[in-house]
Amino acid sequence: MSKNVTEVTQELVTPILDQLNLELVDIEFKKEGKNWFLRVFVDKPGGIDIEECGKVSEQLSEKLDEVDPIEQAYFLEVSSPGAERPLKTPADFENYKGEFVYMKLYEPIDGEKEFEGTLLQFENNTAVVEIQIKTRKKQLQVPYEKIAKANLAVTFN
């Protein structure tokens, strides 16, 4: 099969999610110990509940059984991305302006390669993040292509 497991899974799950008005956040297919896991992370504004995850899991499982793209035994898990949801696409950055985020970059910007701060805006494929260094605040202009990893960050006040 020329397509990898995550690509096939995305093709199969997208119509299911569209029907249920849910958003695909991420797909992982990886081995942990001796077991393989296919994890599908879905969300919607206001969060997703266990019944919705169950519906997606049931329908996706049927489609995966029909197409049978995975040779080895695996566990299918459908869940919420959680409080520290990854930001993968430009639309994610646009939708989560004003939120506290964690970013790791491919190369440093203003001496910073890994930081937490408030996502102020996302325009022209550039995120503007306000970080705090001791007592002063600083805004970083972060081009989208330099972001290795980004997710919402939990703060404890």
Question: Per residue in 19-70, pLDDT tens?
Answer: 999 999 999 999 999 999 999 999 998 889 999 999 999 999 999 999 998 8
Nearest by Cα to 127 from 118, 137, 135:
118
* Mean predicted confidence (pLDDT) in 66-83: 92
For the ranges 54-58, 61-65, 132-136, 149-153, the lowest mean pLDDT is seen at 132-136
Evaluated on CA atoms 53, 55, 58, 62, the torsion sign reads: negative
Q: Please compute, for residue 64, the number of CA atoms within 13 A of its CA located in the half-sphere on the CB side.
A: 24
Residue 92 in tokens: 């994610």
Backbone phi and psi for residue 107, each to the nearest 5 degrees, phi listed first: -145, 150
Residue 46 in tokens: 């206001």
* Mean predicted confidence (pLDDT) in 9-14: 96
Burial class (CB in 10 A: 0-12, 13-18, 19+), 36: middle
* Mean predicted confidence (pLDDT) in 105-131: 94
Cross-strand bridge partners of residue 142 = 127
Cross-strand bridge partners of residue 130 = 118, 139
**Alpha carbon distance 4, 9 (integer Å):** 9
Which ranges of 38-147 would DSSP assign to H, the alpha helix? 50-67, 90-95
Which DSSP symbol is given to 37? E
